[in-house]
Chains A and B, each alone.
Chain A
Amino acid sequence: MEDAALERDPEKCGAVFRKTARQNYGPPPALLEWAVERLLPMPARESVMGDLREVYRGPWQYLCEAARTVPRIAAGHAWRNANLPALGLNGALIWLCLAGLHEKGEGLSAVTIAFATLAGIAALALIQMYGDAQRPTGARAIKGAIWTVALVMLLCVWNFGLKYQRSGGADYLLEFGMLQSLPFVLPVLGLLRTGLLLQSDLQAERLADDAPPTLEDEHRAFLAAVRRVNGIESAALIAGACLLPALTGPGLWLPAIFLVTAAYLLTQNIVQPGQGAGLHSRYRRQLQTRRQLRHFLSWLWAAPFLMAACRLLVWPGYEEGRAILVALGSSAIVSICFLARAADSECAGLLRERLARLDTAPAA
């Protein structure tokens, strides 16, 4: 009753409201707060979690309040910030990869591929909504490389174990070659990851040093940079589409995705979305959609190399029984995936830092 009166009395808004509300109630249970925080999209966490804590009256009230708040916020964020063309292109890429497996006789039907593609798109949308896109520290980046290689080695051991049980033993030394090659990949991955990290640090420093004095100038500089990168990247994509058959085989799907992406990037240079919105909001949304587009582009550039590794090394290795080819191909795939992921996280981290700067500065 007292709470309702407190909420309904406009004079008690602000400082009095906060003081009274926080006096008699402790903080929410940590586990409950942790669970609610995980359900909120990243950009809303800071302010909404603070608000929920401020109006905390008890665990049950907190839970009810969260149940009434979180779904609306999550749905709103998913709708407002989704880059639908980028998600569609991502879907096409997932379809292509799964269809490639289908051609190799892995037993995936068209319906399964369609469902898996939809699940992949949904998962990507969720990752983009809930994922914490922070640039890792140097130590964390190197640990990431170590963990990746360790995990793949573990999978190799597990796979060989099964194989020996089935076949009753094959050329152990050849199979073991695959395991031996992976530790040599580790320093290369560590070195490349460190290079990426240093490059982004330099870029972040340059951005901070050359930061334009006003938001309008910063936004204009951002748009100019996006246009420049889009122009260069679309030209590279068109050139790549022409050269792809030599690398990935005669299929037309990947060149088609390259060309559609190039066309999309060029249209982005002509049409800027949300012209009527406020600058702050428009800039924020452009940063978020840019982040999703870069995520897709990182994997699009990796796709031909992954396909080439499969086509030229892994499949012939399996067919001819040459473990060294399988080992080289697998190492190449691990390295390409690791680097695509690393490039994506660096880019997403830089964009997030820009978003954070935008959030802390009051709109002009």
Chain B
Amino acid sequence: MPDQNLLGQFEQTVLAAVLSLGKDAYGVTIHARVVELSAPRSVTRGAVYATLDRLEDKGLVASWLSEPSKERGGRARRYYRMEKSGEQALRESAKAAKRLYDTLARSWKGLAWKTQR
């Protein structure tokens, strides 16, 4: 039986965005952070919403609506927060990525890359 908390690459990116944004994680900011994390690949807003819905279905994030605000035409924001199971799943993904990195570093003798800011 497949583990439903096994994350795809894009799900990892979205979860990482939610985690890093903390209390300010809602559609606009999450998309902006995902764009940053996925550069140079472009990411549509629709893909982020669909992934957030899927993560919520899996119980990895929780969402709620804020009070409506004037700058949004009297509409509310849907804020997201990572659940404990989401944190656990993201840790597992990070460990897997680290194992992959270590293996490559050993094979290629001193793998290193520059992060572009």
Q: CB within 8 Å of B: which residues of A?
A: 7-10, 12-15, 17-18, 21-22, 27, 33, 44, 46-55, 65, 68-73, 75-77, 80, 274, 276-282, 285, 359-363
Contacts and interface: CB of A to CB of B under 8 A. Distances in A.
A124 B71 CA distance: 35
B62 interface: yes
Contact of B64 (A17, A68, A69, A359): A359
B72 A278 contact: no
Task: Name the prevailing secondary structure of the A interface residues.
Answer: helix
Nearest to B56: A281
B75 interface: yes
B45 A51 contact: yes
A69 B45 contact: yes
A361 B90 CA distance: 25
B92 to A, nearest CB: 16
A46 B21 CA distance: 21
Given A14-B21, A359-B65, A363-B81, A49 B73 contact: yes
Contacts of A363: 62-64, 81, 83
A1 to B, nearest CB: 15
A73 B57 CA distance: 14
A241 to B, nearest CB: 35
A81 to B, nearest CB: 10
A72 B60 contact: no
Nearest to A363: B62
A47 B68 CA distance: 9
B36 interface: yes
Contacts of A7: 31-32, 35-36
Contacts of A360: 64-65
Given A50-B77, A281-B56, A359-B64, A18 B28 contact: yes
Given A68-B44, A281-B57, A54 B49 contact: no
